[in-house]
Amino acid sequence: MLRTSILACLLALSTAVPALAQTMAPSIEQPVTITFYNYNLAAAGLGAEATQKLINEFMAANPNVTVTGVPYGSADGSRIQADLAAGLPVDVVQTVFSDLDFSVTNFGAQALEDIVPAGEIATHLQGMHPNGTKLGVLNGKTYGLAYTFSTPVLFYNADLFRAAGLDPDNPPKTWADVKSAALAVEEKTDAEGFTAGITGPSAVDWLFQGVVRSNNGEVISRDRKTLKFAEPEAIEAVAMLRDLYDAGVYENYDFAGAVDGMASGNLAMYLQTSALQGSLVAGANGNYELRSSTMPRFADKPTRPNNSGSALTIHTTDPLKQRAAWELMKFLTSEHGYTIITSEIGYLPLRPAIVTDPKYLAGWIADHPLVAPNLEQLDRLEPWDPMPGANYRQIVKTMMDAVEMSIFGGADVATTLADAQANAQALMP
Amino acid sequence: MTIDVIARPARARPVTLRRISNRSGLNTAAGHLLMVLLSIFCLFPVYWMLVSSFRPANTLFETSLWPTQPSLDNYTRAVDAIPIARMLINTLVFSAVSTVFQLLTGILAAFAFARWKFPFDKLVYTGVALTWLVPFQVVMIPNYLLIAQMGLLDSVLALILPNIAAALAIMLLAQAMRGFPKEVIEAARMDGASNWRVLWEVLVPNLRGTIASLAILIFISTWNEYFWPLLLSRTAENSVIQIGIQMFMTAEGNQWGPLMAASTLASLPVLVIYVVLQRQVVQSFMKSGIR
C-alpha cells in the first residue's frame, strides 16, 4: 500500500513538474520587446547585415515583437555580465558553444524543456540533423539550438599542389598524407606546407577537441568531471602535430597570419573552420584555385569532427518574452533562417533537406562546391564540449598553453600535458 | 720665434678648423641619414596603410609599393558597412568636449592646490595622484553601472562623463602653477585683482604653452580610447571610430581592405592636428612624457 502510494505520488509529480515548468505564454497578444545579444552584430560586413536582415524579417512577420539587437564581443562576454549586473534585460543570446556551461550557471540560460511545450519542441526539431540538435544539450537538457556553426575543413591551394607534383583531385585524407604533401610543397615550391587553427589566442579548444577525438581520445570525460587531455590518445595526437612541426611543415602562425598566408597563396594547406571560406575566396579570386577537403584522419580511424560557432539561448524568465524569444529562435533556425545563415554568413545548415531544395540552398550549393566537405562531416558531427565551472576559460587556457608548448615549444609532450592536466583538474568545480 | 708661435697657431688653425668642420659635416650628414632612415621606418606603416586601402581584396597581399589595380572599393565598402562620418563626429565631440572639461577642471583644481594651503591638502593631492595609478579597467564596470542607472547607455554623453576630470591634468597644471613667480601674483593682488581674475588674466595666459601641450595630449589620448566605448556603445551610430575600425576584424577573417580605408580616414583628423600643431605636440610629449 505504502509502495503504491509513493509510486502514485511520484507519478503525479512527474506529470505536474513539466506542466508547472512550462511557463511560456501561449501566444503574443500584446506588444513586447526582447533583446538579442549577438556577436555578428559587433562586426561589419556580411554577418551583421545578414543578422539584421533576419531580425527585420522576423519583426515584419511578428508585428507585436520588437527585437533589439545588442552587439557584444564573443571573446569575453563582458557586456552580458555588465548588463546583467546593471539589471538590464538579457533575453536571447548568441552563445559560443564553449561558453554554454557558464551561460547556464551564471547568465541564466533556460532549458527549452523547462519553458517550451514538448510538442512544440518536437515539431520544430523535425527535419534537423540529429547530430545538430545534440550540440546545445548539457546535462540532459537542451539549452541552446545550433545557430551559426561549422566543422573543420582542410582548405588547400590546388595550384601549389600541381607545382609540387601532387594531384589536387586527391587531397590528403590522413595526417600522414598531410605530412608528405606538405614536404613536397616545401621542397618543390617557395610556399609553406601546412598550418591549422588548433592553437592561438582565438582558437579556444574547438579544433583540438576534434583532433583528439579523431584519435579516439577525449579532452574531458563524458560526465564532464575529469580532464583527459593527458591520456595516451591525446598525447599521441599532440605528438603527431609536434612531428609535423619538427619536420618543418607545420607553420606556427597566429589566426591572422594563417588566414592571410592562405588567402595570399603562400600556404598550401590550412585546417580551419569553414566559416573562413568567404575571406579565403576573396584572396584566391583570380590568383589561384582554392579547394577544400574533409578533416584529416589518423590512419584508418574515422574522423570525429566537432562544431565551432554558436547556439541560441533564451535567458528571460518573463512568460511573454519567452514566447517572443522562442518564436525568434524558431525563425532563425528555420529552413529560411539556415538558408540566409549558410549563403550569406558562411555557416552550416542544420536542416539537410534544404541543401537539395531549389527553394532554399540547392542553387547556392551548386555554385559553392567548397561547402561540400562541411556537409559531409555533418553525419559524424560531435558536440564541442564546454568546460565546466567558473574557471572554464582558465582550464581551456591551461590545456591549450600546454598543447602549444608541446607542439611548438620543444617541451616533452607527455610530461607537459600531464602537468597541465593536473593543474587544470584543480580548477574544475 | 714669437712670430712662429703666433704664426703656428695661425697656420694650424685653419687646418684644425677644416678638420673640425669636415668632421662636423660628416656628423651632420650621418645624423641626417639616420633621421631619414628613422623617418622612413616610422612613416612606412602609414604609407602601407594608405596604399593597402587602395588595393582590391585579391591583390591585397601583393608587395609592390603602389597598387597595380588601384581602386576606391575599400572606401566604398567601409562607408557602406559602418557610419564612418557619424563615428568620426562622435569621436571628435568625445575628444573635444573631454579635452575642454579636463582642462577646465584641471585648471580650477590645480589653482586650488597651488594657491592655498588648506587642511589635508597634501593628502587630497596624494589621493588625486593615486587615482592616476588605477587602471581604467578597474573602475570601468562601476562606471558602467552608474551610467546604466542614469539611463545614459549608448550615448556620447556617457562616453564623456567619466572623462571630465583627470589626475594627469591636475598634477601637470598644479606643477606649472607652483613654478609660476609668486611676485607676479602678489603684484596682481596688490592691484586689486580677485583670485578669479588672477587665475584667468594672469596665470592662464602665461601658462598657455603648458595648457596647449596638455590639450593635445588629452585630445590624442581620448581620440584613441577603445575599452570604454567598446563596453558602453550598443549601436555603431553612437560609437567612435576606433570601434568602427575593430568591426572589420571578425571571426570569419579580417577585412583588411576596408579596415585600412577606415583607418586612413580615422587618422586624418589627428594627422591634420599634428601637422598644424607640430611644435606643441613634440613639446607636450617632451614635457609630460608619453602617457
Q: Which residue in the set B144, B230, B247 is minimally distant from A86, CB to CB? A: B144
Is the same domain home to A351 and A392? Answer: no
Element (H, E) at A67: strand A65-71
Q: Is residue A87 part of a domain?
A: yes
Query: What would the mean pLDDT of A394-400 be, rounded to a whole number?
Result: 97
pLDDT at A214: 97
Is the same domain home to A289 and A159? Answer: yes
Q: Is residue A207 part of a domain?
A: yes
Three-class SS of residue A84? Answer: helix
Q: Which residue in the set B231, B235, B258 is minimally distant from A78, CB to CB? A: B231
Q: Which residue in the set B57, B153, B251 is minimally distant from A282, CB to CB? A: B57
CA B233 to chain A, closest CA, distance in angstroms equals 9
Q: Do B253 and A278 count as a contact with CB atoms less than 8 A apart?
A: yes
Q: Which of A158-167, B191-200, B272-281 is predicted with the least confidence, judged by mean pLDDT?
A: B272-281
pLDDT at B20: 67
| Residue % of chain A over a pLDDT of 70 | 95
pLDDT at position A3 over 60: no
Q: Which residue in the set A42, A82, A346 is minimally distant from B144, CB to CB? A: A82
Q: Which of A59-68, A251-260, A290-299, B100-109 is predicted with the least confidence, judged by mean pLDDT?
A: A251-260
Distance from C-alpha of A429 to C-alpha of A390, rounded to nearest angstrom: 8
Distance from C-alpha of B240 to C-alpha of B226, rounded to nearest angstrom: 8
Q: Do B231 and A82 count as a contact with CB atoms less than 8 A apart?
A: yes
Which chain A residues in 296-355 lie under 8 Å from chain B, judged by CB atoms?
Answer: 345-346
pLDDT at position A100 over 60: yes
DSSP code at position A312? E
Query: What would the mean pLDDT of A223-247 be, rounded to a whole number?
Result: 97
pLDDT at B220: 87
pLDDT at position A19 over 60: no
Identify whether the C-beta of residue A384 lies closer than 8 Å to the C-beta of residue A209: yes
Is the same domain home to A269 and A220? Answer: yes
Rounded (5°) CA angle B268-B270-B276: 100
pLDDT at A300: 94
Is the same domain home to A294 and A319? Answer: no
CA A46 to chain B, closest CA, distance in angstroms equals 9
Query: What would the mean pLDDT of A387-413 be, rounded to a whole number?
Result: 96
Is the same domain home to A291 and A322? Answer: no
Residue B198, sorted as left (phi over 0), alpha (psi -120 to 50) or beta, turns out to be alpha
- Residue A9 to residues A3, A17, A271, A406, Cα–Cα distance (Å): 10, 12, 55, 56
Is the same domain home to A51 and A123? Answer: yes
pLDDT at B132: 87
Q: Is residue A15 part of a domain?
A: no
Q: What sign does the CA torsion over B184, B185, B188, B189 have?
A: negative
For residue A392, give the nearest of A99, A107, A109 by alpha carbon: A99
Burial A230-262 (b: 16+ CB within 10 A, else e): bbebbbbbbbbbbbbbeeebbbebebeebbbbb
pLDDT at A13: 44
Burial status of residue B285 (CB atoms within 10 A of its CB: 0-12, 13-18, 19 or more): middle
Query: What would the mean pLDDT of A19-44 be, rounded to a whole number?
Result: 86
pLDDT at B273: 77
- DSSP notation for A210-247: HHHHHTT--SB-TTSSSB-TTSHHHHHHHHHHHHHHHT
Q: Is residue A5 part of a domain?
A: no
pLDDT at B13: 54
pLDDT at B61: 85
Identify whether the C-beta of residue A228 lies closer than 8 Å to the C-beta of residue A389: no
pLDDT at position A32 over 70: yes
Is the same domain home to A373 and A342? Answer: yes
To probe the interface with A, which of B77, B250, B254, B260 has the most A CB atoms within 10 Å?
Answer: B250
Cell numbers found for residue B17: 678648423
Residue A307 neighbours by CB under 8 Å, 6+ apart: A97, A135, A146, A149, A150, A151, A206, A348, A381, A382, A383, A384
Is the same domain home to A249 and A327? Answer: no
Question: Using CA atoms in the order B66, B70, B71, B77, what is the torsion angle rounded to 10 degrees?
Answer: -30
pLDDT at position A17 over 50: no
Chain A residues lying within 8 Å of B87, measured CB to CB:
none
Most confident of A27-41, B204-218, B264-278: A27-41
Entry pTM: 0.85
Query: What would the mean pLDDT of B222-250 be, rounded to a whole number?
Result: 91
pLDDT at B1: 37
- DSSP notation for chain B: -HHHHHHHHHHHHHHHHHHHHHHHHHHHHHHHHHHHHHHHHHHHHHHHHHHHTTS-GGGTT---SS-SS--SHHHHHHHHHS-HHHHHHHHHHHHHHHHHHHHHHHHHHHHHHHH---TTHHHHHHHHHHHTTS-HHHHHHHHHHHHHHTT-TTSHHHHHGGGS--HHHHHHHHHHHHTS-HHHHHHHHHTT--HHHIIIIIIHHHTHHHHHHHHHHHHHHHHT--HHHHHH--SGGGS-HHHHHHTTEETTEE-HHHHHHHHHHHHHHHHHHHHHTHHHHHHHHHHH---
CATH number for A75:
3.40.190.10
Query: What would the mean pLDDT of B46-64 be, rounded to a whole number?
Result: 90
Chain A residues lying within 8 Å of B247, measured CB to CB:
42-45, 48
Distance from C-alpha of B198 to C-alpha of B168, rounded to nearest angstrom: 23
Is the same domain home to A160 and A139? Answer: no
Q: Is residue A262 part of a domain?
A: yes
Distance from C-alpha of A223 to C-alpha of A242, rounded to nearest angstrom: 29
Q: Least CA distance to A203: which residue of chain B?
A: B251
Chain A residues lying within 8 Å of B232, measured CB to CB:
none
More confident residue, A385 or B11: A385
- pLDDT band for position A167 (cuts 50, 70, 90): very high
pLDDT at B209: 84
pLDDT at B15: 55
Residue A357 neighbours by CB under 8 Å, 6+ apart: A335
Rounded (10°) angle between helices B208-223 and B84-115: 140
Q: Which of A129-143, A383-397, B273-287 is predicted with the least confidence, judged by mean pLDDT?
A: B273-287
Tell me: ipTM over 0.95.
Answer: no
- pLDDT band for position B18 (cuts 50, 70, 90): low
- pLDDT band for position B14 (cuts 50, 70, 90): low
Interface of B with A (CB under 8 A): 57-58, 60-61, 78, 81-82, 141, 144-145, 148-149, 153, 230-231, 234-235, 244, 247-256, 258
Is the same domain home to A38 and A109? Answer: yes
Is the same domain home to A302 and A182? Answer: yes
Identify whether the C-beta of residue B84 lies closer than 8 Å to the C-beta of residue B285: no
pLDDT at B5: 37
More confident residue, A394 or B275: A394
pLDDT at position A5 over 90: no
Q: Which residue in the set A265, A279, A287 is minimally distant from B252, CB to CB? A: A279
Q: Is residue A165 part of a domain?
A: yes
Element (H, E) at A70: strand A65-71
Identify whether the C-beta of residue A297 lies closer than 8 Å to the C-beta of residue A173: yes
pLDDT at A12: 46
Count structural domains, chain A: 2
Q: Least CA distance to A272: which residue of chain B?
A: B252
Chain A residues lying within 8 Å of B146, measured CB to CB:
none
For residue A264, give the nearest of B254, B52, B59 by alpha carbon: B59
For residue A224, give the nearest of A289, A137, A296 by alpha carbon: A137
Residue range of the domain that includes A262: 155-306+388-425
Q: Which of B37-41, B176-180, B274-278 is predicted with the least confidence, judged by mean pLDDT?
A: B274-278
Q: Least CA distance to A347: which residue of chain B?
A: B252
Q: Which residue in the set B58, B250, B253 is minimally distant from A287, CB to CB? A: B58
pLDDT at position A1 over 50: no
pLDDT at A191: 96
Chain A residues lying within 8 Å of B256, measured CB to CB:
260
pLDDT at A282: 86
Q: Least CA distance to B252: which residue of chain A?
A: A276
Q: Do A280 and B253 count as a contact with CB atoms less than 8 A apart?
A: yes
Is the same domain home to A284 and A165? Answer: yes
Q: Which residue in the set A43, A70, A284 is minimally distant from B247, CB to CB? A: A43
Query: What would the mean pLDDT of B185-212 be, rounded to a whole number?
Result: 91
Burial A379-407 (b: 16+ CB within 10 A, else e): ebbbbbbbbbbebbbebbbbbbbbbbbbb
DSSP code at position A382? B
- pLDDT band for position A2 (cuts 50, 70, 90): very low
Distance from C-alpha of A249 to C-alpha of A20, rounded to nearest angstrom: 59
pLDDT at B289: 53
Q: Least CA distance to B148: which residue of chain A?
A: A86
Q: Which residue in the set A74, A83, A282 is minimally distant from B58, CB to CB? A: A282
Identify whether the C-beta of residue B281 lies closer than 8 Å to the C-beta of residue B211: no
More confident residue, A370 or A329: A329
Indicate the residue type of A395. I
Q: Do B250 and A43 count as a contact with CB atoms less than 8 A apart?
A: yes
Give pLDDT tens digits for A308-347: 999 999 999 999 999 999 999 999 999 999 999 999 888 8
Q: Do A285 and B57 count as a contact with CB atoms less than 8 A apart?
A: yes
Residue B76 neighbours by CB under 8 Å, 6+ apart: none
Chain A with chain B: Cβ pairs closer than 8 A? 88
- pLDDT band for position B266 (cuts 50, 70, 90): confident
Q: Is residue A19 part of a domain?
A: no
Query: What would the mean pLDDT of A189-211 be, rounded to a whole number?
Result: 93
pLDDT at A6: 47
DSSP code at position A109? P
Q: Is residue A10 part of a domain?
A: no
Residue A297 neighbours by CB under 8 Å, 6+ apart: A173, A174, A175, A214, A303
Give pLDDT tens digits for B155-179: 999 999 999 999 999 999 999 999 9
CA A30 to chain B, closest CA, distance in angstroms equals 25
Chain B residues lying within 8 Å of A47, measured CB to CB:
250, 252
